[in-house]
Structure 1
Amino acid sequence: MTTAELLIPALLLDAVFGEPRWLWTRLPHPAVLMGRAVELTDRSLNTGKQRRAKGVLAIVLLVLGAGWLGWVLSLFGPVMQFLVAAVLLAQRSLCEHVEAVAHGLRHDLAEGRTAVSMIVSRDTTGMTTPQIARSAIESGAENFSDGVIAPAFWFLVGGLPGLMIYKITNTADSMIGYKTPRHRNFGWAAARLDDALNLIPARLSALMIAAVGRVLPSWPEIAQDAGRHRSPNAGWPEAAMARALQVALAGPRSYDGKMQDFPWVNAVGSKSASAHSITRCVRLLWMSWALGLALTVAIAALL
């Protein structure tokens, strides 16, 4: 079977079952195991001098290990391959977490803050309703690329080894890719490799969101907004989602008690996002997922 044929049931399984609690309360989730592998390299290698070189060694070891594991798992046949792929996709869980913020906001502001704190790293204490809604929408758009389209893309390209290499890189970037004093040098290689692996998926995600959101004619403006974003990739799906929803995203926000003045994405859009905006975002995420499934079916038919 081709990787496209295997990806179809993987996408469907993830969409139907998401992250079954009964399973992951009994077994460690693969993402948890990947996190432990990253922690091990951080503890073992992130010491002394030449930390950038040691960070390069760390990501090489992680990539080789993940690729080898993906190859071994693929030897168990097509069922194993699409089951593992389904586990490493995150469409349903992403939409559930984002929709939970809308649900919380409809009850009260404090519940909305609690819900959004589960999916963003910025300060949530004192957030207003529009700030909470914008944060949830940004997280939904960015993680649609990181958690759905990028894993699917690298599975199509490289099978389970490609998918596993992407996931370990993305996990490493989320853990050691930040420019903190401890990880500024050690996490450099993980961050750069993650940027490279997300280059195509981020733009593909933006195209899909723009297509279902009927804002493809605004692609030049989407590209312009994406270029202003602090991330070379996250700005693309965020800019497309902002145009599709006609809201402004990003802008000033607080990290570790310090307000940072980030530029607005789609500055001409409404700055009064709400729970309804979040629900519309989730609807667009599912429509984009459906477009991705249709494209995968088409690729499978052509191959």
Structure 2
Amino acid sequence: MSTAIALSLALILDAIAGEPKWLWSRLPHPAVLMGRVIGWCDQKFNTQAPSRTTGILMIAALVFVAGCIGVLLSYLGSVVGILIAAILIAQRSLVDHVARVASGLRMSLPEGRRQVAMIVGRDTRDMDASAIARGAIESGAENLSDGVIAPAFWFLVAGLPGLLIYKIVNTADSMIGYLTPRHAAFGYGAAKLDDLLNLVPARLTALLIAFAGGVLRDWKAISQEAGQHRSPNAGWPEAAMARAINVALSGPRAYEGEMRDFPWVNGQANHTIGATQIDAACTMLWKAWGKALVLCVIIALF
């Protein structure tokens, strides 16, 4: 079975099954296991004098081990590969999490804040409805790249070794890839490698969203606004989503009690948004997923 066919089946399986609670309430999810390993490495090797070299050696070792595990699992056959890919591609759970923010916001402002706090890292205590919606939509767009298109891309390129290497690097970046006193040096290697591995998937995600939303004509503006983002990759799907559903994203927000003045994305569009626009973003996430699935099928055919 070709990798493209296996990926197509994995995408469909994930869309149908998502993250079954009956399974992951009994067994640790592979992403959770990866997080535990990275947490142990952080405690063990990020000592009183953390260095870039130590962090780079750590992420290199994790990449090697993940690649070897991927090679070994590949010998178990296509069915195992499809199941692992479906587990590590998170389209269904992503849309479910974003949709819960819309449901919470329809119930009350505090419930909307509670739901969005589960998927964003910014301060949520004083968010109004528009800020809640922006947070949910931005998280959905960025995680479509990180959690769906990027793992699918690396599975397509390099099979299970590529998928597991991407997931361990992306998990490490989410845990230690921050410019904090503890992790600025130690997490440097993980953050830079994650940036590298997401260069193509982030732009591919933006293309899929723009195509699904009928805004490919705005690609120049999307690329310009993506370049203003603090991340070399996250701005691409965010800028595409903003134009696909005609909302203004990003802008000022608070982290750890400090307001930061980020530039607006698609700033001329609607600033007053809510649950309806979150719903539109969820629909766009599925449309972009559908375009990705069609692309996989075309690759499988040719």
| TM-score normalised to structure 2 length | 0.99
Which residue is equivalent to 1:193? 193
Pairing 1:219-238 to 2, within 5 Å after superposition = 219-238=219-238
Question: 2:269 is paired with a residue of what secondary structure?
Answer: coil
Query: 1:184 & 1:60 partners in 2: Cα distance?
Result: 17
Residue number in structure 1 paired with 2:100: 100
Q: CA separation of 1:228/1:25 partners in 2, compared to 1, >3 Å: closer, same or farther? A: same
Shift of residue 97 of structure 1?
Answer: 0.3
Q: In terms of mean alpha carbon deviation, does 46-55 or 123-132 score higher? A: 46-55
RMSD (Å) for aligned C-alpha atoms: 0.7
Residue 182 of structure 1 aligns to a residue whose secondary structure is coil
* Alignment match, 1:177: 177
Cα distance change of structure 1 residues 50 and 92 upon mapping to structure 2, 3 Å threshold = closer
Output the amino acid matched with 2:245.
L
Structure 2 residue identity aligned to 1:129: A
Tell me the equivalent position of 2:11: 11
TM-fit CA distance, 1:191: 0.2
Residue number in structure 2 paired with 1:266: 266
The equivalent residue for 2:156 is 156
Q: Partners in 2 of 1:296 and 1:46 — Cα distance?
A: 41
2:47 counterpart residue number:
47
Q: Within 1, Cα distance between the matches of 2:98 and 2:50?
A: 40
**CA deviations over 1:120-165 (Å, ceiling 9, x no partner):** 0111001000000000000000000000000000000000000000
Pairwise CA distance, 1:99: 0.4
1:48 offset after TM fit, Å?
4.1
For 2:277, the equivalent position in structure 1 comes to 277
- Secondary structure at the counterpart of residue 259 of structure 1: strand
Letter in 2 for 1:64: F
4+ long deviations beyond 3 Å: none
Equivalence map 1:56-95=2 (5 Å):
56-95=56-95
Q: What letter is aligned with 1:166?
A: Y
Q: CA deviation at 1:49?
A: 3.6
Aligned partner letter, 2:232:
P
Q: After superposition, what is the alpha-carbon deviation per residue over 1:14-71, rounded to whole angstroms, capped at 9, x for unaligned?
A: 0001000000011000011000111121112111446110000010011011111111
- C-alpha contact 1:37 1:62 (8 A) present in aligned 2: no
Q: In the alignment, residue 221 of structure 2 is paired with which amino acid? A: E
2:255 aligns with: 255
Flag structure 1 segments of 5+ consecutive residues without an equivalent: none
How many corresponding residue pairs? 302
**Which residue of 1 is the match for residue 142 of structure 2?**
142
Aligned to 2:242: 242
Cα distance in 1 between the residues matched to 2:284 and 2:50: 45
Residue 301 (structure 2) aligns with? 301
CA spacing shift, 1:220–1:47, aligned 2, 3 Å: same
1:79-125 CA deviation, whole Å, 9 max, x = no partner?
00000000000000000000000011111111100110010011100
- Taking the aligned partners of 2:30 and 2:272, their CA distance within structure 1 comes to 38
Give the % identical residues: 61
Q: Structure 1 residues 264 and 186 mapped into 2: Cα distance closer, same or farther (>3 Å)?
A: same
Corresponding residue number in structure 2 for 1:35: 35
Corresponding position of 1:114: 114
- Report the 3-state secondary structure (helix = DSSP H, G, I; strand = E; otherwise coil) of the residue aligned with 2:227: helix
Q: Distance in 1 between matches of 2:74 and 2:273?
A: 44
- Whole-angstrom distance in 1 between the partners of 2:12 and 2:245: 26
Is contact 1:46–1:186 with CA below 8 Å preserved after alignment? Answer: yes
Letter in 2 for 1:20: P
Residues of 2 paired with 1:50 and 1:185: CA distance?
A: 6
Preserved CA contact (<8 Å) 1:173 1:191:
yes
**Which stretches in structure 2 are left out of the alignment for 5+ residues?**
none
Amino acid at match of 1:300: A
Question: What is the letter of the counterpart of residue 231 of structure 1?
Answer: S
TM-score (norm 1): 0.99
What is the CA–CA distance in structure 2 between the aligned matches of 1:226 and 1:249, rounded to whole Å?
12
Distance 2:117 2:157 in 1: 34
